Amino acid sequence: MTLAVEQLLTPEIARPARYLGNELGAIHKAWNQATVRWVLTYPELYEVGASNLGHIILYSILNVQPRQLCDRAYLPAPDLTAKLRSTGTPLFAVEARRSLTDFDILGFSLSYELGATNILEMLALAGIPLTWQQRKAEGIWNVEQGSYPLIFAGGQTATSNPEPYADFLDFIALGDGEELLPEIGLIVEEGKATGLSREELLLDLAQIPGVYVPQFYEMTTEDSIRPLRSDVPARILRRVATPLPAYSIGLVPYVETVHDRLVIEIRRGCTRGCRFCQPGMLTRPARDVEPEQVVDAIEQGMRATGYNEFSLLSLSCSDYLALPAVGVEIKNRLKHENITLSLPSQRVDRFDENISNILGGTRQSGLTFAPEAGTQRMRDIINKGLTNTELLQGVKTAYEKGWDKIKLYFMIGLPGETDADVLGIAETLRWLQRECGGRGKRHLNFNVTISNFTPKPHTPFQWHSVSTTEFQRKQELLRREFRTIRGLKANFTDVRISAMEDFLGRGDRALLR
């Protein structure tokens, strides 16, 4: 049943456009003409979820599938959350304006560990029992007759270690979803047509490579996972797909979002082998998008969305060998448009005049590098593959090309780290300022983020740990040093958040007991 959403969006509800589902690029398919109905959910506020590229790509791909419909939902802000609870209104999808319980499949993107609590909040707001045991029922699975939707999660965190979330999800999508989700939709369509029970349908889904159904597996006394039955795979393979930039041309929100620009993926995966990096381990092999596809997607996307800024996305954009050529071609094709190119964090050792010349446009974009460690010794330990000479050359190139404020990312708490390595971060900043500046020259400023190293599964450093007390001590060392550096703004990650990420990231089903 369609909900009267406008009646909820009274004047005390901030930014009501978050919940209207009428953005440019939103897809409205006829409810009664769809056999399988999805709702993809990003468990964060709209401003974060609506600009997430993976969310947009999967939404677009599912909506081109015949007989399938895909809607969206986001974590409501506290004001609407209170209104939903006080009025007894269930959480709804923004386009169909129907309760989440009306859909066949409810999918969550779990891109970082602490997003799991938001998933539970959204299930509670929708009136859906939190665990698969509570949702289990005998007889034919039919949402229209009161069965609960199938609840699943995908994304980097769900792929790396799904076990802490095993009781809350019916199944988990491991790896890339571009090909996997349409396959799931076909199995669900067939299951509905043949009148399968919930358990029978999940058993069919478990046969799809990349689908993990936790209820068919158990933990052993050695803390490994084994099947409970012989008709499910003993090992689930992670899915790997080729990026499809044409599906990145998606929504244009009416409120400002975190990434308020067109985003096009140019490369997926990384083979550099940094020993702390989970995405670099989980997204192999590296796959480059053909330059022609990238250029066409940018040109079409800029004209279709009206954005005047676009960003190219990759774990390491500088490793995309066609990057300078793509930038030049776009500038030539859109030379009469007021456009700006920005890049996410990139490798400083690959930053040169060719890349600097394609960045920005009519205005200069921000620039971000990630040296990760403050000394050469630590960069060698973590296999960063970055020398002091390369660091200086990249920063100096940026400075000479007009950037007088650069964002840098560092980590503390890495294996083998000493206090000298921690203080080396401050010394590196002073050294870069001395080498790039000088009498009569403009000052080089830094915006520095200091993260607490959190060991991730499937990385060489996965068993390393640092106490919160030690993190706090190292942060204080840096704070004292940073007070003596002019033109520096520093941000430190909360050690409590890092501890929770560590707790969930490397935990198992025992966390639920």
Quick one: average pLDDT of 16-38?
A: 95
- Does the pTM surpass 0.85? The reply is yes
pLDDT at site 364: 61
- Answer whether 407's CB lies under 8 Å from 449's CB: yes
Q: Which CATH fold would you assign to the domain 261-366? A: Transcription Regulator spoIIAA (3.30.750)
- Sheet containing 405-412: which strands, arranged edge to edge? 368-372, 405-412, 445-452, 488-492
- The architecture of the domain spanning 369-513 is 2-Layer Sandwich (3.30)
- The architecture of the domain spanning 5-227 is 3-Layer(aba) Sandwich (3.40)
- Answer whether 108's CB lies under 8 Å from 150's CB: no
Percent of the residues in the chain that have a pLDDT greater than 90, as a whole number: 74
- C-alpha of 107 from chain center: 14
Judged by average pLDDT, the poorest of 40-49, 171-180, 289-298, 306-315 is 306-315
- Answer whether 106's CB lies under 8 Å from 39's CB: yes
Reading the block at residue 97, the tokens are 């304006």
Domain borders along the chain are 5-227, 261-366, 369-513
Quick one: average pLDDT of 434-457?
A: 89
pLDDT at 88 over 60: yes
CA–CA gap between residue 473 and residue 479 (Å, rounded): 10
- Answer whether 291's CB lies under 8 Å from 348's CB: no
Q: Do domains 5-227 and 369-513 have the same CATH topology?
A: no
3-state secondary structure of 95: coil
Reported as a pLDDT band with limits 50, 70 and 90, residue 356 is: confident
Reading the block at residue 153, the tokens are 């999660």
Reported as a pLDDT band with limits 50, 70 and 90, residue 363 is: low
∠ Cα 212 214 219 (to 5°): 120
Nearest Cα neighbor of 350 from 290, 398, 287 is 398
